[in-house]
Structure 1
Amino acid sequence: MKTAPTLYTERLILRSFTLEDVVDVQRLTDDPDMASTTYHIEYPYKDGMAEEWIGWYNQQFEKGKGIYFAIAFAKDETLIGEVDLTFRTHLPYKDASLNYWIGKSYWNCGYCTEAAKAVVAYGLREHDIELIFAEHFKRNPASGRVMQKIGMRYKDFFPKDPENDASEDTLLYIIKKDEFEGK
Structure 2
Amino acid sequence: MRIFDTERLRLRPLKVGDSQEVEELAREYDVSKSTLTIPHPYPEGSAKDFIEKVLDSEKRGELFNFAITSKETQNLIGMINIKLSGRHSRGELGYWIGKPFWNIGYGTEAARAVLEFGFNDLNLNKVYAQAFKETPGSWRIMEKIGLKYEGTLKQHVYRFEI
Aligned to 2:51: 54
Aligned to 1:167: 158
Stretches (4+) displaced over 4 A: none
> 1:83 and 1:131 mapped to 2: Cα distance?
17
- What amino acid sits opposite 1:131 in the alignment? K
- What amino acid sits opposite 1:124 in the alignment? F
Write the deviation string for residues 58-95 of structure 1: whole angstroms up to 9, x where unpaired. 11111111100000000110101000000013x3x210
When normalised by structure 2's length, the TM-score is: 0.94
When normalised by structure 1's length, the TM-score is: 0.84
> 1:22 and 1:140 mapped to 2: Cα distance?
25
Which of 132, 135, 139 does residue 127 from structure 2 map onto? 132
- What amino acid sits opposite 1:45 in the alignment? Y
- Unaligned runs of 5+ residues in structure 2 are none
Percent of aligned positions with the same letter in both sequences? 33
> 2:147 and 2:3 mapped to 1: Cα distance?
23
The answer to whether structure 1 residue 98 and structure 2 residue 98 are counterparts is: no
Identify, as 1 or 2, the structure richer in strand. 1
> 2:105 and 2:72 mapped to 1: Cα distance?
16
Q: Secondary structure at the match of 1:77?
A: coil
> 1:57 and 1:86 mapped to 2: Cα distance?
11
> 1:123 and 1:96 mapped to 2: Cα distance?
7
Write the deviation string for residues 73-128 of structure 1: whole angstroms up to 9, x where unpaired. 00110101000000013x3x210100000001110100000000000101110013
> 2:22 and 2:134 mapped to 1: Cα distance?
24
Which of 107, 112, 128 does residue 107 from structure 2 map onto? 112
Deviation at 1:139, TM superposition (A): 1.3
> 1:84 and 1:11 mapped to 2: Cα distance?
18
Which of 62, 67, 71 does residue 65 from structure 1 map onto? 62
- Unaligned runs of 5+ residues in structure 1 are 169-183
Which structure would you say has the larger Rg? 1
